[in-house]
Amino acid sequence: MNKKVADIKKKNYPNNKKTRKMYVRRTLQKYASFSIKSCTYNFLRRYNVLAIETSCDDTCVSIVNTEGEILVDLKKSLKTVEEDGGIIPTKAHIHHQVEIGDLARKALEDANVSLSKDIEFIACTRGPGMPGSLGIGYDFAKGLSVASGKPLIGVHHMLGHLLMPTMFDSSITFPNYSMLCSGGHTVLVYSENLYTHNIIVDTLDIAIGDSLDKCGRELGLKSNMIGKEMEKYINDEFIAKGRVDDAQEINQLTKKYPITEPLKYNLKQHPKFVSFSFSGYLSNLKKIIQDNDKVDKPGLCYLIQEHHFKHLINKINDARKYKMLPRENVPLILSGGVGSNLRLRAKLEHEVSSIFSSFHFPPVRMCTDNAVMIGWAGIKLYDTLKLKTNYNTSPIRKWPLDELLTVDGWAKVE
């Protein structure tokens, strides 16, 4: 007999089923799972996690718990991205150094928790990302872990994005697909379970978010988040004015501003070479601007965004056509910063609904980089695989998701 069960039965074990469940829950709350007769009970302890994310230019600290409650979620963004025309790695590095300490202190104070008494472990992004940025958060997390005696878990940034919707929607199950779209990544992933991931389609060059930012900047848009600003500009200046409903105008715009589809060759000769590619859009856009004395800015923004999304969907369909998808009729998750775009969400639901059983999106505010997703992914690794990260490890600049558990430094929680 299971020792945990035997220990219970030595006491006054109630016969009434309802009372028994209550008694078991209270008595064995510290145990993750146990079995009694034909019934299996699974209970997870409720605990809090301090999470840190510094993979790019946002300094993020959050405290979340195992029930998916966000006790506090803080972020400080680098303010010079707009004036610099992009992210300067050295400035992002200094930004994290300046902000991380006060942000962590404020998180603990706002949540009214003690690091030593109320936090189970510290989760931090280990990679992939910008080495200088990753290093600040990772070393800070190590220091907190050593000082408090709490375990450290180095989390894969894209695993955080992949699991983020499950925090808000418990109906999402494995296996599933994830379309991860951000400024640094564009990848279609098939996930068999928490730790087994297969890259189906990846990008050959730059990510979709990076391309949209560069194109938006070329068209004169200004913001720390140009892709988001482009979506708003299109909604206000093109869609809200009814232009998107005018088929004749859309046709005229397409002819006036020809945009080439990347990697549009005879795939019958290269059926395994199905990839995303976005680097050509900027040079295409520059030529259009050069060839026209004056451009229709709202119309051109609309076309650029539509072509980016069309390319994503075409490559998903190519993957299906050439039997690269392990299976169909399973859920699709869209996450990452570009995943907040409502137009992209609608196009996926409309144009690839025959491939996937359902579509799942995190709240818009949780699509961009945040520490909540790092804490939530850390909880899953800790509870499901009983993993922590050793101290003799360093950040990982490039870390393919299909190599999640093959990197050095993983250890079993004692």
| Residue 82 confidence (pLDDT) | 78
- Given a cut of 80, whether residue 352 has pLDDT beyond it is yes
Q: Which of 95, 97, 108 is nearest to 50 (CA)?
A: 108
Band the pLDDT of 125: cuts 50, 70, 90. very high
| Residue bearing the bigger pLDDT, 144 or 414 | 144
Task: Among 3-7, 152-156, 190-194, 211-215, name the one with the lowest average pLDDT.
Answer: 3-7
Contact between 224 and 79 under an 8 Å Cβ cutoff? The reply is yes
- Taking the C-alpha atoms of residue 159 and residue 127, their distance in angstroms, rounded to an integer, is 10
Confidence band of 38 (pLDDT split at 50, 70, 90): very low
The answer to whether residues 86 and 95 touch, using CB atoms and an 8 Å cutoff, is no
Q: Residue 49 in 3-state DSSP?
A: strand
Rounded Cα distance, 192 and 146, in Å = 34
Q: Kindly tell me if the per-residue pLDDT of 137 is higher than 90.
A: yes
pLDDT band at 39 (very low <50, low <70, confident <90, very high): very low
For residue 74 the two structure tokens come to: 């803080």
Contact call for residues 387 and 413 (beta carbons, < 8 A) = yes
Rounded distance, CA 302 to CA 244, Å? 9
pLDDT range class, residue 270, cuts 50, 70, 90: low
Strands 176-181 and 70-77: unpaired
Q: What's the CA dihedral at 397, 335, 175, 321 to 10 degrees?
A: -90
- Rounded distance between C-alpha atoms, residue 364 and residue 26, angstroms: 37
CA-nearest of 60, 155, 102 to 372 is 60
d(CA 83, CA 78): 11
pTM: 0.86
| pLDDT score of 15 more than 60 | no
Q: Which two tokens stand for residue 256?
A: 């006036």
Q: Is the pLDDT of residue 115 over 90?
A: yes
**Tokens of residue 124, six digits:** 């931090």
- Of residues 224 and 308, the one with the higher pLDDT is 308
Helix, strand, coil content of the chain in percent (nearest 5): 45, 20, 35
CB 199 within 8 A of CB 187: yes
Instruction: Please tell me the distance from the alpha carbon of residue 201 to that of residue 189, in angstroms, as a whole number.
Output: 7
Query: Where does the pLDDT of residue 16 fall: very low under 50, low under 70, confident under 90, or very high at 90 and above?
Result: low
Q: Say whether pLDDT at 6 is over 50.
A: no
Tell whether the model's pLDDT for residue 20 goes beyond 90: no
Residues 366, 22: Cα–Cα separation, whole Å: 35
Q: Of 23-37, 290-304, 352-366, 384-398, which gets the smallest average pLDDT?
A: 23-37
Q: What is the CATH number of domain 48-163+368-412?
A: 3.30.420.40
Domain boundaries, the chain: 3-42, 48-163+368-412, 169-361
How many Å apart are CA 333 and CA 163, to the nearest integer? 9
What are the pLDDT digits (tens) for 178-187?
999 999 999 9
Query: Residue 26: which H helix or E strand, with range?
Result: helix 17-27
Q: What is the pLDDT of residue 84?
A: 81
Architecture of the domain made up of 169-361: 2-Layer Sandwich (3.30)
d(CA 105, CA 411): 28
Average pLDDT, stretch 274-295? 94
In the predicted model, is pLDDT for residue 366 greater than 90? yes
Whether residue 2 is predicted with pLDDT greater than 60 in this model: the reply is no
Report the pLDDT value the prediction gives residue 5, as an integer from 0 to 100.
37
Helix or strand run (H / E) with residue 154: strand 152-156
**% pLDDT > 90, the chain:** 77
Following DSSP, what letter does each residue of 254-272 receive, concatenated? HHHS--PPTT-S-TTT-TT
Confidence class of residue 28 from pLDDT cuts 50, 70 and 90? Answer: very low
CA distances from 60 to 108, 159, 387 (A): 13, 16, 23
Going 405 to 177 to 367 to 131, the CA torsion angle's sign is: positive
